[in-house]
Amino acid sequence: MYSGSSGAPNIRIMSPVENAAPLSETKPPRGNVWDSLSRAITQSKARIGSARRTITVFVALLLVVILLQWLGSAYSSEFSGADEAAHFVTGLMIRDYIADGFPSPPVTYAEKYYVHYPKVAFGMWGPFLHITEAAWTLAFPPTRTSMLVLMALITTSTAALVYGALLDEFGIVLALMAGLMFIAIPAVQRYTGMIYADGLVALLDFCAALAFGRYLNTRESKYSLLFAGWVCLSILTKGNGVALLPLPGFAILFTRQFNILKSRSVWIAAAIVVCLAGPWEYYSLRALAGIAKLHPGGTFVFGYSRAMLALLGLGLFPVIAFGIYERLILPAWNRSLDGKWAAAGALICSIWAFYSLSPAEGVELRYLIAVIPPMLLFLIAGISAIARRIAIPAITWRRRSWGVAALVAAVFLITQFSIPQKRHYGFDQVAELLEKPEYQSNVVLISSAAEGGEGEGMLISEVAMRDRRPSHFVLRATKMLSQSDWIGARYALLYQTPDEVMKFLRSIPVGIVVIHNERGLAGSPDHRLLQQAIADYSTEWERLGTYAERESTIDVYHLKSAAGARAGKIHINLPYTLRRSIAE
């Protein structure tokens, strides 16, 4: 071996050990093992740190959601939304059926349950929300607080997904802003304070969009199967989930990945949706046939377009539009569109097309909650794009984006933010009265002057959550003194005079009558007829209490002759839903 810098060679004879192959060629050096272990530990710590941050963000968002519910009086108000009582009682029925150990065939059990608490609406919507409620109330008490926390968790999950979809690309500040904006939008607040299916549909729709976006990027079959699963769950929550069906078509059109239609996984996913969600949707459409009065498709194109623009406010629309240009239109033109952004744009288009072009009763803002998450993604993209175009070299892009975000948040807070208030009626106090031992065996009849007889559902749900079920029979005047379909059409009185009404009440006998009046509303003919019967036979009635709340008054009467009497067989005729009578 030669060494040194002079011309003369410097020769050194190597020992056999030195002449052997380097140790690294036969055995890894000790340092490499420790390096690998060190990297694994570092990665593990990073994952734990990321998980902790995600949990912290989720808990923070949840606390904000619950605070907004509380400020909106949701925890002190009845289930007063049009469908709230039906959603609550249906979930409660499934919960009790499981807790009772499946005591009879499910249809038989549901019919008997309906006679006690006539707000069971199984089949009018998909079962997933009600099964979710049942699972939740098997673990936690079936109370108003418990149910509202469940709704808060659903909304928080959607906000957390919005945060997660933006985090890597835009950083924690902008991602967290988007999550907070979602839960602060008044439409989201309103329906988070109620038991409605639309919040869960929005969550499942966004999950489906994210899964399809991953599929576009990776072509891995697991993501197409995930997409199919989320679509099925959305449809099985509410028929509105059908709005997801055009999403793959829009996304493929935006990305121009038409060869994806040759993939077997796409058609397997389509078959899963047809086989799992198709039968229920067919059954549900048959149950609803002839009930809803629908306007022709396309009637509400302008209404839904305007409603979508109003969700986040016209002041923020230019920022959203800039984000759509930056993340959807321009990359699509350059054939470099990312799957996540293609799916987000496709979700907006699918929901708009479905509600605008399908036959409908009218414009419902709650249906559009599902379009808010992708719109927030484009809002943040717009903020980022604007910040990049602001030429202030001394300020980093990240700080410029925070400044633009602060301006956007200010516009939102000034023009859009408010806390919708939920009204208290006093039916919780009536339910407390009915739980007294002396009234436990009484049959109760509730009549409400509110539009759609909403007071009926409020009392039924308040009694049901307090009862040792099934206990009370809470009958609805709109079912016992008259007949009508699901939306109150095809109305007809069953009794024509106060005398006939009194004869019916004694025949059961009805021991308690609850009359709910609203200022300025006369109520339906059966409501007025019942009031007249109480007035004409005033000596037979004892007033147990009056509960007044702002523009609402609830009077509770006891039929003296019913004291100690046991109820006979109660028949409820349901000609427009079950098309037959049920009895208990």
C-beta separation of 238 from 197 below 8 A: yes
What is the residue-averaged pLDDT of the chain?
Answer: 89
Q: What is the pLDDT of residue 9?
A: 42
Distance CA 48, CA 43 (A): 9
Distance CA 504, CA 22 (A): 103
- Could you tell me the pLDDT band of residue 12, with boundaries at 50, 70 and 90? very low
Instruction: Read off the pLDDT of each residue in 183-203 and give the average, rounded to a whole number.
Output: 96
Distance CA 126, CA 424 (A): 29
Give the HSE-up count for residue 171: Cα atoms under 13 Å, Cβ half-sphere. Answer: 11
Q: How many beta carbons lie within 10 A of that of residue 142, not counting itself?
A: 21
Residue 8 has pLDDT above 60, yes or no: no
Sign, Cα dihedral of 556, 561, 565, 567: negative
pLDDT digits (tens, 9 = 90+) for 134-174: 999 999 999 999 999 999 999 999 999 999 999 999 999 99
The structure's pTM equals 0.90
Write down the residue that tokens 């793959």 correspond to.
248
Residues contacting residue 295 through CB under 8 Å, at least 6 positions apart = 359, 360, 361, 362
Instruction: Read off the pLDDT of each residue in 35-43 and give the average, rounded to a whole number.
Output: 72
Residue 340 tokens read as: 């996540």
Q: What is the pLDDT of residue 576?
A: 74
Distance CA 532, CA 443 (A): 20
pLDDT digits (tens, 9 = 90+) for 301-312: 888 889 888 888
pLDDT digits (tens, 9 = 90+) for 195-253: 999 999 999 999 999 999 999 999 999 999 999 999 999 999 998 999 999 999 999 99
What three-state secondary structure class fits 124?
coil
C-beta separation of 488 from 536 below 8 A: no
Helix (H) or strand (E) holding 293: none
Residue 390 tokens read as: 């602001």
Residue 81 has pLDDT above 70, yes or no: yes
Q: How many beta carbons lie within 10 A of that of residue 378, not counting itself?
A: 23
- Could you tell me the pLDDT band of residue 290, with boundaries at 50, 70 and 90? low
Q: How many beta carbons lie within 10 A of that of residue 320, not counting itself?
A: 25
What three-state secondary structure class fits 118?
coil
DSSP string, 467-506: SSSS--EEEEHHHHTEE--TTS-S-EES--SHHHHHHHHH
Distance CA 97, CA 89 (A): 12
- Could you tell me the pLDDT band of residue 1, with boundaries at 50, 70 and 90? very low
400 phi/psi in degrees, rounded to 5: -65, -40
Residue 501 tokens read as: 């009404």
pLDDT digits (tens, 9 = 90+) for 521-533: 888 999 999 999 9
C-beta separation of 114 from 120 below 8 A: yes
Q: What is the pLDDT of residue 24?
A: 44
- Could you tell me the pLDDT band of residue 289, with boundaries at 50, 70 and 90? low
**E-strand spans in 112-205?**
none
Residue 40 has pLDDT above 90, yes or no: no
Q: What is the residue type of 155? A: T
Alpha helices for 2-143 (secondary structure H): 16-19, 30-71, 84-99, 106-116, 128-139
Sign, Cα dihedral of 161, 164, 165, 166: positive
Sign, Cα dihedral of 30, 31, 36, 39: positive
Distance CA 399, CA 405 (A): 10
- DSSP letter at 559? E
Residue 7 has pLDDT above 50, yes or no: no
* Of the candidates 282, 303, 172, 298, the residue with the CA atom closest to the CA atom of residue 236: 282
Q: What is the pLDDT of residue 346?
A: 97
pLDDT digits (tens, 9 = 90+) for 318-349: 999 999 999 999 999 999 999 999 999 999 99
Instruction: Read off the pLDDT of each residue in 279-286 and give the average, rounded to a whole number.
Output: 80
How do 580-583 and 571-574 pair as beta strands? Answer: antiparallel
Distance CA 131, CA 146 (A): 15
Q: What is the pLDDT of residue 441?
A: 81
